[in-house]
């Protein structure tokens, strides 16, 4: 099951599990739409893999399958890759 991390690693924007706009790599590094397209060019700065849109976890499923509360924030690792 996906961790559904709660925020963007670059800008720390909140990314609720039941909303769109989050992108992940195969290691679940998590970024917002803005950082993914404007700063990272859809490439994960941690592993070099592609970033794809994270699926939404329905609100009704969050009680029994909660999202992670652990935030990862590494703004120095999020330099533009363009």
pLDDT tens readout for residues 29-67: 999 999 999 999 999 999 999 999 999 999 999 999 999
- Domain hosting residue 45, numbered range: 7-57
pTM score, two decimals? 0.90
Instruction: Give the per-residue pLDDT at 76.
Output: 84
In a domain, 23, yes or no: yes
Instruction: Report the sign of the C-alpha dihedral through residues 42, 48, 53, 56, in that order.
Output: negative
In a domain, 53, yes or no: yes
What does the alpha-carbon distance between residue 5 and residue 31 come to, in Å, rounded to a whole number? 9
In a domain, 12, yes or no: yes
In a domain, 67, yes or no: no
- Counted domains in the chain: 1
Q: How many CB atoms lie within 10 A of CB 36?
A: 23
In a domain, 64, yes or no: no
Instruction: Give the per-residue pLDDT at 38.
Output: 94
């Amino acid at each position: 099951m996906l961790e559904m991390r709660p925020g963007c690693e670059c800008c720390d924007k909140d990314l609720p599990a039941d909303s769109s706009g989050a992108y992940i790599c195969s290691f679940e590094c998590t970024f917002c739409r803005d950082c993914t397209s404007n700063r990272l060019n859809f490439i994960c700065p941690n592993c070099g893999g592609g970033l794809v849109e994270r699926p939404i976890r329905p609100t009704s499923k969050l009680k029994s399958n909660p999202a992670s509360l652990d935030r990862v924030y590494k703004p120095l690792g999020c330099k533009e890759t363009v």
